[in-house]
Structure 1
Amino acid sequence: MSRQLDKQKEKIKTNRRVVDKRNKSLKKISITSTVLFIVVILAFNIIFDQLLGDKLKWDWTTGDQYSIGDVSKQILSEMDKEVEIVGLFNENTTQQYQRIMPMLEMYANQSAGKIKVRYVDPDRFPNIMKDVDPTGNLKPEANEFVVMCSDTSKAKRVGYYDIFDIGYDASYNTVLNGVTAEQSFTGAINYVVSETTPVVYFTTGHGEADFQSEFTIIASLLQNNNFEVKTLDLFGLNAIPEDCSVMIMLAPEQDISEDTSRVIATYLQRGGSLMFIADYSPRSFPEMNKLLVDYNIEIGDTRLREGDTDHRYQDDPYIIRAIAPVSTVTEKEVDGFTLADNARGMNILANVKDWIRVEPVLTTSDQGFAETAGDPEQSSEAGRKQIVLLSENSGYINQADTKQSAKVMLVGSTSLFSDKILSTYGSQLYNVGLFYYSVQFLSNTSEEASLYIPPKEPVSYTVSKGSASTNVFVAVLVTLIIPGLLLLTALVVYRKRKHL
């Protein structure tokens, strides 16, 4: 009996040894397989990233905020000069441009070798500042970019605030309003490769608004789209500079003098362009209107009121959701997506000539009213009123080697292009496009030479504050109704199960 027990014990031990050997073998195989699998995955990732990594990177941000669009690709494909983009910082340590650097790689890849990108730390290589700014006029700083073209000897700075549109909320905390990287870099590239750059002058001397403080968005828009922006004091001026493509009088508080009128008239007759912007106020502009007779238009003294509630903003009759009809400036009608506050009426005269063409660019609805001297009791009959007019006089062509027609645009609302409106609504409205396409036409710039690239708006995850009634309803629902329903359900279930 004892022998049988010993044999059974020995058999069990033998089986255990066999099982232990199998377990150890399985463990070794598992560990080895796991290690080999990890090594293969790592090797595959490294090799795959080296070979195809750059080609398989995607911009997952909404609106492709850090990618380049069709307009930029078209400009890059037509480049015939070499451009260098120099980042004045250490690319391995600088965090603020980490999302921008892949975009610059896209520029290089799309340019067929015409664009080169490099990064130089000015702390380690201080001579780089002289290399990118040999004349000393550009004055770049560390943590900026310099876009330069040796063929034209032109260069342009692109800084942090050119790439990111930073604003402030109600609590004065900084917020990202938009990403203007593509706009800035493509504009800089277009600027440095162009032999000539249209110049837009904002006038001073008549109490004009300061575009550098209240209209910075349109100024940046021009600068980022191959326009140069300058100021021009009209007081005592004998002639408008020859490089002036467009002259903008922005909300002047005083009328021009006879001498200034002659200077402006001479400039226009040589193929110049004028944009006059003034919202409603008690002041009038008789001397300017004398000049405008040759263009069959007039600056009115009326305030416009919108009678159609569908074309009012927040039911305010003086904040008009204006209509941009099909015109030289607007290809397709834009109805109700252009805000104009405190609008002044602009008039078409009866001085009809074959060589003068006048067209409305922005109007009220058919229920618009013109209030004489801003008095609602002295209103015109309902009808479509003009907020923006464009006049083109071709009668001066071939006189004194004039090859372009004279162009004048009257804009009856300064709010159309103000930072207050544009920073709040951005590209949701047509206001920005209206300004840009108007300047593009006035400057005789072809669409191919100056293409508009809108800024890209970041996604907002802000939860808007609800109304008082909504807040009360939600509070009652969460604290009373839902708990009450749960309690009632529990009681019903309890009573059914009580007698089981």
Structure 2
Amino acid sequence: MALMNDRNTLQLTRGQIGQVGILLGSLGLIFAASSFLMNGFSTLTIVVLLVSVIGFGLWAVFLPDEFRAVLTGRQMRHSTAAILSTAILIGIVVAMYIIVQRANIVGDMTIDERFTLSAPSMELMDAVQRNSRDIQITAFYNAQEIEYREVDDQYFQLFEEASNGRLHVVYVDPDEQPALAAAYANALENGIYTFASFIEDDGTLSNTVPVPITGYHEQEISQRLAVLLAAGQFTVYFETGLDTLDPIANQQQGMSVLNNIMRQNGLITNAISLAELAASNSNIPTDASALIIAQPRRQMTAGEVAVLDEYLQRGGSVFIAADALLTDDLFMATDSVFNTYMWDHYGLRMSDMIVVDPASSGESQLSILSAQVFTNNDIGQNINIENQPDTAVQFHIARAIEVNDTPPVPNGRVIMSSPQSWGERDWNSLFQQNQFTFDSSQGDVRDQFTTVAWAYNEDTTSKVVLVGDGDFLTNGRVQSPQGNATLFLDSIGWMTGFTEKVEFEPRSYNATPLVFVGGQMLDTIAFFTIVVMPGSLLLIALAIWLRRSRQ
């Protein structure tokens, strides 16, 4: 029993010290196991484990018979058994909670199944499983962004579960791992913090694509995974022999912005010269998904047209941006070989008129906007979206396109000017003196003009997109407005089939559940319910026992 000395201080017996040792050892073991499962062999794990060892050491020293009885299976004293069994029960519950939490078990308890992947997303995950390489999602969050990580993680888990182990999520704190974050610095500065990559056999990452997340988690993750899976399947060639826009030039008049966007989205881009192919009697490579002829500054020769015709006859696709230039060697001039070819084969040709539109234009009546857009095709669906002015297209000195209404193959219009526009034929006054007025005596025509058109040969599967301007493709204009880039990229998507690979509309939700509890909060709740509360009762019971033992 506890003894009282003359100064009324508490003196513990050997048995009481031994039972305190049991308590310390048991609680220390619980906390050590919990810390190990959550953080591995951290400093906290080692310290708590040492406390547990000291506690059990006190038990063995001060109650050797009882300690020996536990090891040999003989009956323990009731008080010690209660303490030890309670501690073991708490330890089992804690361990089971952590194991289940780490097992990434996913369930959807919502009535509208908002946390169940849609059918298109599940089809995509089937493709992920069939792919020869695993996929890693790398997501960057610092200590202040844990709440966002918890929200995103619930969606990442859905894709992880659906991939059957083929998709892995890795979280990186850019403050703690700045060297790793440096490789993604440009994207991180622009607010993109999630990336998808293939995992190669040596563990390195390849074909990394950004995954912008703005709230539509499932749709955005699915589409970018589809882009990753399509990476390397499509090759687009830039024609460079006609003095066209330079796809790698960073200057205002270069085309590097669009080239980089295509590469970032998994398309392979290369340069090619029709003149060199014609001179060597060669053909456009068979891997060419599309050919881009951007703002050529001379006419095509008969030999170059023959090379392009051979490519189109075997199902090729070509994007043509035929600009208005004051030159005697105008590309697709009204009587040129290639202009005649396009009319005979696709029902499209360039006219000799520059479109002036006082009703739908930007800084001048020559900077015409997309007044009318036909959305019954893949090219125009994302242009002139209601209440989104930046989705418009703006051309600077655009030529009018003639469309044959009884064409040899299916064709159609994408963008037209307003009914108040007219076609200017006096190019000399326009370019040299910046003067343009409607004059019917000079052949000017008031009409609504086509500035973007398409054609599709169902027999050969060849596709053509013809645009009456090339300036909108340049670095200085392609993103102002954003519709300029949309027109080009959606055209490439339609011609190559890339759009069919990545475009679908899985069901998505812009909001998290009304009551969302993150993983950290769940851990806190679990800690208090399965450790603190039972542990407190255990301490209270010990205090009561000690008090009674003093009496």
TM-score of the aligned structures, taking structure 1 as reference length: 0.56
Q: Deviations over 1:172-231 (max 9, x none)?
A: xxxxxx99x999986774355449712211111111112233333433433344432222
Say which is worse superposed, 333-342 or 298-307, in terms of deviation.
333-342
* Structure with the largest fraction of strand: 1
Q: What percent of counterpart residues are identical? A: 17
Distance (whole Å) between structure 2 residues aligned to residue 102 and residue 232 of structure 1: 47
Distance (whole Å) between structure 2 residues aligned to residue 417 and residue 437 of structure 1: 13
Distance 1:349 1:87, change over 3 A: closer
Secondary structure of 1:205's partner? coil
State the partner residue of 2:168.
116
Amino acid at match of 1:81: R
- 1:24-423 alignment to 2 at 5 Å? 75-76=124-125, 79-81=128-130, 83-85=133-135, 106-107=155-156, 109-111=158-160, 112=162, 113=164, 114-118=166-170, 147-148=197-198, 156-158=206-208, 189-190=225-226, 193-194=229-230, 197-212=233-248, 213=250, 214-237=254-277, 238-283=282-327, 284-285=330-331, 286-293=336-343, 294-308=345-359, 311-314=360-363, 316-322=364-370, 323-329=372-378, 330-331=380-381, 334=384, 337-348=391-402, 352-353=406-407, 355-374=408-427, 375=430, 376-377=436-437, 378=442, 380-394=444-458, 397=459, 404-423=460-479
Secondary structure of 2:323's partner? coil
Total equivalences in the alignment: 345
How far apart are 1:299 and its partner, in Å?
A: 2.1
Distance (whole Å) between structure 2 residues aligned to residue 94 and residue 409 of structure 1: 49
Distance 1:92 1:245, change over 3 A: closer
How far apart are 1:154 and its partner, in Å?
A: 11
- When Rg is computed on C-alpha atoms for both structures, the one with the higher figure is 2
Distance (whole Å) between structure 1 residues aligned to residue 269 and residue 456 of structure 2: 23
* Structure with the largest fraction of helix: 2
Unaligned residue ranges in structure 2 (runs of 5+):
1-33, 39-93, 107-116, 174-179, 181-192, 431-435, 506-551
Cα pair 1:251 1:414 within 8 Å, conserved: yes
Secondary structure of 1:327's partner? coil
Secondary structure of 1:200's partner? strand
TM-score of the aligned structures, taking structure 2 as reference length: 0.51
Q: Deviations over 1:366-404 (max 9, x none)?
A: 11111114342446232111111112233xx2xxxxxx4
Cα pair 2:353 2:424 within 8 Å, conserved: yes
Distance (whole Å) between structure 1 residues aligned to residue 222 and residue 256 of structure 2: 19
Q: Deviations over 1:3-40 (max 9, x none)?
A: xxxxxxxxxxxxxxxxxxxxxxxxxxxxxxxxxxxxxx
Cα pair 2:208 2:228 within 8 Å, conserved: no
For the aligned residue pairs, the C-alpha RMSD in angstroms reads 4.8
How far apart are 1:155 and its partner, in Å?
A: 6.4
Distance (whole Å) between structure 2 residues aligned to residue 154 and residue 300 of structure 1: 53
Cα pair 1:280 1:342 within 8 Å, conserved: no
Secondary structure of 2:326's partner? coil
Secondary structure of 2:337's partner? helix
Distance (whole Å) between structure 2 residues aligned to residue 318 and residue 100 of structure 1: 48
Distance 1:92 1:373, change over 3 A: closer
Distance (whole Å) between structure 2 residues aligned to residue 70 and residue 392 of structure 1: 31
Secondary structure of 2:466's partner? strand
Cα pair 1:273 1:408 within 8 Å, conserved: yes
Cα pair 2:241 2:276 within 8 Å, conserved: no
Distance 1:76 1:436, change over 3 A: farther
